[in-house]
Amino acid sequence: MLYKLILSGSDIVTIPRCIESFVRLKFLDLNECKQLRKILGLPPNVEKVEAKGCLSLEIFLEEGRRSQLFDTEEPPEPVGVRTVIPGQQSLTDLHLSGSAIVSLPTWFNKFVGLKKLYLEDCKQLREILGLPPNVIKVSAKGCVSLKIFLEEARRSHLFNTVDPQEPVGVEAVSLTQQSLEGMFQLECPFNSLVRLDLSSSAIVSLPSWFNRFVPLGSLSLEGCNQLREIPQLPPNIDYVYLGRCTSLERFPFNNIFNFPKLRWIDFSDCPEHIGNALQYHLFSEGHRKVRRFGCLFQGNKIPDCFSYRKEVSNTNLCEMEITGPVHLNSKNTTFAFSAVIGMSDGQDGDIFQIHVEVTNNGQPINYSSSMETYKSSSSECVWLDYNGSCHSQLKMDNLRVKFECKDFSYNPSKTVFFKSCGFHIEQRYEEEAIGLMDGVELSKRCRDDDDDGDGNLESNLYPQQKRDKR
């Protein structure tokens, strides 16, 4: 009994329908079959299909859907009405990366067992019209022609209509566009997707109902230089990667505090106004509802509202000493850290970690670390970490803040370095709304006005009292 079939690197041109007779086959390996053009059938109980690097593969069950997969001479009813697709229950992993497929059709949502879908570097893929309801991970990185992501599916194909070409609501139900969108939001079937990677695609905008991907935790759109807007974010989003989205105009900053799990957003090499809007909403709308938040955005200076700053010269280590008593009288005191980082000449991206330690008289009171990928094409970006740990009723006499930049192996980084670092203390009081930028102090003053430390560390700056010299 055959459980595993390996045809990788062969000159096979077509996987015929007769492969459906291999009822015990669990794994089909077609990797690097350069001449393979069609997959017309699948074993009924297959669990994993790998067809990576099949440069000529254009048809995945498409012709079979029309006729060959069924015992009829004429094309049957569209898949999704009365038909069954081989492997739709058993298939969990599908790798089509590097193939020549043009479209992922709407009937693809019938693979109800599929958990992982890989479409990386499918250069001719133009549209993804259907996704399986239980898929966990979708990676379409490097699909440079991909412009449509489920938008047509929203209008018609994800519903059980008889004619897949007829928009829902035209004849069968007579729904308005507004009510149709409401219906889709209520019945959105994507209840398992946790990771979506559309990096380096030609996507212009995500669907307006994108927030209905409730479990989605990681969204990567790096290098989507045609992306103009992200109208909504899912409620459980953790990480958003938007580096090098040079055309980005719209992002849902207004409700950025409504995502309790949001930990990181990468805006490196996005337009400058995106970073400005992020800073405004982060520091002007009061205490964050999340414990921790970090981001990377275009810029060359520490945010104006930061209490303490220090300029350094291209180093992977920066230490700040804050002498004199610092009283934390609030029950809700949080720390924020920032650094202007740059890359060594000739480097276009690297893995870096920023470790920050806060000590009082040598005793650690706060520790923060971050590991992200730096891929900015410009020389400078601003890293910011808003640490939601609460520190209350503390009296600090000798505060030291230590910044370290390390590589993937935890060694001092040789490619990513600091140009300046900043530290901010924000205290929140029930009777006060501290944190507004327009003419209102951002935090309680943490030391006397004329105490500038060793000269390299600036005192607390308010927006209405900016110094000309940074």
Contact predicate 234/256, CB 8 Å: no
pLDDT for 446:
34
User: Which amino acid, one-letter code, is at 445?
Assistant: R
> Among 65-79, 168-182, 352-366, where is mean pLDDT lowest?
168-182
**Who contacts 72 (Cβ-Cβ below 8 Å, separation ≥6)?**
none
Q: Of 470 and 272, which is predicted with more confidence?
A: 272
Q: How far apart are CA 222 and CA 51, in angstroms?
A: 25
pLDDT band, very low/low/confident/very high, at 414 (cuts 50, 70, 90): confident
- Residue 8 in this model has a pLDDT that exceeds 90: yes
Residue 89 lies in a domain: no
Residue 326, pLDDT score: 65
- Average pLDDT score over residue span 168-172: 30
Put simply, whether the predicted model's pTM sits higher than 0.85 gets the answer no
Residue 390 maps to a domain: yes
List C-alpha distances in Å: 380 to 311, 344, 347.
14, 10, 12
Number of domains in the chain: 1
Mean pLDDT estimate for the chain: 76
Residue 202 lies in a domain: no
Q: How far apart are CA 468 and CA 195, in angstroms?
A: 45
The Cα diameter of the chain in Å comes to 89
Those residues with Cβ within 8 angstroms of residue 281's Cβ, 6 or more apart along the chain or in another chain: 253, 254, 256, 257
Q: State the burial class of residue 467 (Cβ atoms within 10 Å of its Cβ: 0-12, 13-18, 19+).
A: exposed
Buried b (16+ CB within 10 A) or exposed e, 10-38: eeeeebebebbebeebebbbbbbbeebbb
Q: Is residue 455 part of a domain?
A: yes
Is 113 a domain residue? no
361 in Cβ contact with 281 (< 8 Å)? no
Q: How far apart are CA 131 and CA 149, in angstroms?
A: 10
Amino acid (1-letter code) at residue 159: F
| Domain membership flag for residue 368 | yes
pLDDT digits (tens, 9 = 90+) for 268-290: 889 989 988 888 887 765 545 45
CATH of the domain at 314: 2.60.120
pLDDT digits (tens, 9 = 90+) for 108-128: 989 999 999 999 999 999 999
- pLDDT at position 222 is 93
Residue 277 lies in a domain: no
In a domain, 160, yes or no: no
Task: Report the pLDDT value the prediction gives residue 214, as an integer from 0 to 100.
Answer: 92
Give the domain range for residue 430.
308-465
d(CA 63, CA 39): 9
